[in-house]
């Protein structure tokens, strides 16, 4: 049983030790909680549970603490993929909810499994999801002052391998901040979140670059075709170089290998297979 998580990219880690230590501790606590949950739950259940914890931590750009878009509103996207059943579900640009990954989980039971905007919000309301404002004062200050130098980049994500040998991946984002309303990130697409019986991948970075490189699906396809996870990841990220693509990945293969890599450090991550490892 193994689990790996990420908290996106951020620049503060290189200059602000307080922020770095806070993120290290948060990721350590969350990956340990996720691993404990994995001991008695499936990979699919675990990635939802763990991404909820990440969404609830305002150090990261997902759920509570998400970026504000150019029209002053917060819109969230998240997706979930079950490597065993090959089902993918997600929500795109949903407003006024706390945990978009939980709505993606509810959609797994439906034929129409990826919803956006108003339709996603109506589905959430009809399924008993309460109104929630994910804005925090820091994000409002950044928006009003139109700052960008302190904004955290990326998303949150989790990949898990359970005791039955099944893989699952989940990814959630609050967007990049100040984007055009309606912009779609990679997080609720198979370019940013993908799993099958051979590997699971969650991405972070610039969504347009990740979609252009079809990053998660390429890596998993290459592993399926026999390439080691590390080689498949490195080759796929190398293919982003011609357009200076900005991306990071976490992954687990069916044989239990962890891997994480990025094109533009600093991606923050943590893993656990009984022992915890955290970015430094």
Out of 69-73, 181-185, 192-196, 260-264, which region has the weakest mean confidence (pLDDT)? 69-73
The 199-205 sheet, strands edge to edge: 193-195, 199-205, 247-253, 258-262
Indicate which residue of 46, 64, 155, 236 is catalytic: 155
Cβ atoms 207, 193 nearer than 8 A? no
Q: Which is nearest to 111 in space by CA: 129, 123, 101?
A: 123
The 167-173 sheet, strands edge to edge: 114-116, 87-94, 76-82, 167-173, 156-161, 2-9, 267-272, 276-278
Encoded tokens for 216: 């998660």
Residue 259 has pLDDT above 80, yes or no: yes
pLDDT, tens digit, for every residue of 138-170?
A: 888 877 765 444 444 568 999 999 999 999 999
Out of 41-50, 64-73, 144-153, 154-163, which region has the weakest mean confidence (pLDDT)? 144-153
Residue range 21-33: average pLDDT? 96
DSSP state of 204: E
Check residue 129 and give left, alpha or beta (phi > 0: left; psi -120 to 50: alpha). beta
Contacts of 161 by beta carbon, 8 Å cutoff, 6+ apart: 1, 2, 3, 43, 167, 200, 252, 254, 256
Mean pLDDT of the chain: 93
Cβ atoms 203, 192 nearer than 8 A? yes
Instruction: Tell me which architecture the domain covering 2-278 has in CATH.
Output: 4-Layer Sandwich (3.60)
190 catalytic residue (yes or no): no
């Amino acid at each position: 049983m193994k689990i790996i998580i990420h908290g996106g990219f951020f620049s503060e880690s290189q200059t602000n030790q307080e922020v770095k230590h806070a993120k290290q501790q948060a990721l350590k606590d969350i990956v340990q909680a996720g691993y404990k949950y994995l001991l008695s739950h499936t990979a699919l259940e675990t990635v939802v549970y763990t991404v909820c914890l990440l969404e609830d931590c305002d150090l990261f750009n997902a759920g509570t603490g998400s970026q504000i878009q150019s029209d002053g509103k917060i819109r969230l996207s998240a997706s979930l993929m079950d490597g065993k059943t090959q089902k993918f579900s997600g929500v795109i640009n949903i407003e006024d909810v706390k945990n978009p990954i939980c709505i993606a989980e509810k959609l797994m039971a439906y034929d129409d499994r990826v919803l956006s905007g108003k339709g996603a919000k109506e589905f959430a309301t009809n399924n008993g999801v309460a109104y929630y404002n994910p804005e925090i004062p820091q994000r409002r200050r950044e928006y009003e002052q139109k700052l960008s130098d302190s904004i955290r980049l990326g998303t949150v994500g989790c990949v898990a391998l359970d005791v039955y040998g099944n893989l699952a991946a989940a990814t959630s984002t609050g967007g990049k901040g100040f984007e055009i309303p309606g912009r779609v990130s990679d997080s609720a697409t198979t370019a940013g979140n993908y799993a099958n019986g051979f590997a699971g991948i969650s991405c972070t970075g610039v969504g347009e670059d990740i979609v252009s490189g079809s990053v998660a699906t390429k890596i998993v396809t290459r592993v399926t075709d026999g390439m080691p996870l590390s080689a498949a990841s490195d080759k796929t990220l190398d293919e982003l170089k011609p357009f200076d693509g900005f991306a990071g990945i976490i992954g687990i293969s069916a044989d239990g290998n962890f891997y994480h890599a990025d094109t533009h450090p600093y991606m923050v991550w943590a893993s656990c297979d009984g022992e915890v490892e955290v970015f430094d």
